[in-house]
Structure 1
Amino acid sequence: MSKKVHEFNDIIRKLRKEIFGKGPERIHTVFVDNMAVSTLYGNLTPTEKFIASTPEGLQMVRTARTSMIQDLYTQSPPEGMEELMGSQLLHLFSDIKIEEDFAISVFVFDKNISE
């Protein structure tokens, strides 16, 4: 893993730990053209797992996880991300599969960021 990928993953992990109280256990990121595609494993807290044990709770956790993170990135990109990438973050697309505890985030930048 390149240093840039490692630093990018650290930014994601730190922010999610601050927001949700737990960061992903493992992150795999690839840079493609103007996008960073990150797969995040082991995201949920024990409380979220408990809440998600019902259909209503599962939807609530999924909505909270996707909406909160997208709103946060819309307000302001994580500290150091744009500097690291040398590019402005334009959009974040994110979803989580609660049952399998993995998420996908696609970060779209204004320039090519691939290495």
Structure 2
Amino acid sequence: MSRQIHEFNDIIRKLRKNLFGKGPERIHTVFVNNMAIATLYGNLSPSEQFIARTPEGREMVHAARTRMIQTVYASAAPEGMEELVGAKFVHLFSDIKVEDDIAVSVFLFDQVIDQQSMGGGKPDEAR
């Protein structure tokens, strides 16, 4: 894992720990073009796991988690994220599968952040 991805994962983990009282146990992130795609495992606190034992509880945990994350990222990118990837944060798409305690977050930036790409710049437009 590159240093950049490791630091990106630390930013995600710290924010979620501060927000929910527990950060993910494991994060796998890839940079593709102008996106960082993170799969987060082991997200739920013991209280959320207890609440999620019923269908209504699962829906409540799902709604609360997705809305809280969207609200936090709508106001500003986490501290250090834009500097780390060298691009402006544009939007976050996020969802969680409560039953399996797996979440996916797609971070969209204003330019290419993929280290394998040639030289950065704006993402290709749809043709």
Short-chain TM bin: over 0.9
SS in 2 for 1:53: coil
3-state SS in 1 of match to 2:112: coil
Q: CA RMSD in A?
A: 0.4
The runs of 5 or more residues in structure 1 that have no matched partner are: none
Number of residue equivalences: 115
What are the ranges of 5 or more consecutive residues in structure 2 without an aligned counterpart?
A: 116-127
Where does 1:1-115 land on structure 2 (aligned, <5 Å)? 1-115=1-115
TM-score scaled by structure 1? 0.99
| 1:37-78, Cα deviation, whole Å (9 max, x unpaired) | 000000000000000111111101001111100110001110
* Structure with bigger gyration radius: 2
**Which has the larger helix fraction?**
1
Bigger relative contact order, structure 1 or 2 (CA pairs below 8 A, ≥6 apart): 1
CA-CA distance at 1:28 after TM superposition: 0.2
1:64-108 deviation line (CA, Å, top 9, x unaligned): 111100110001110000111110110100000000000000000
- Superposition misfits of 4+ residues, deviation over 6 angstroms: none
Aligned partner of residue 84 in structure 2, secondary structure:
helix
- Identical counterparts, % of pairs: 68
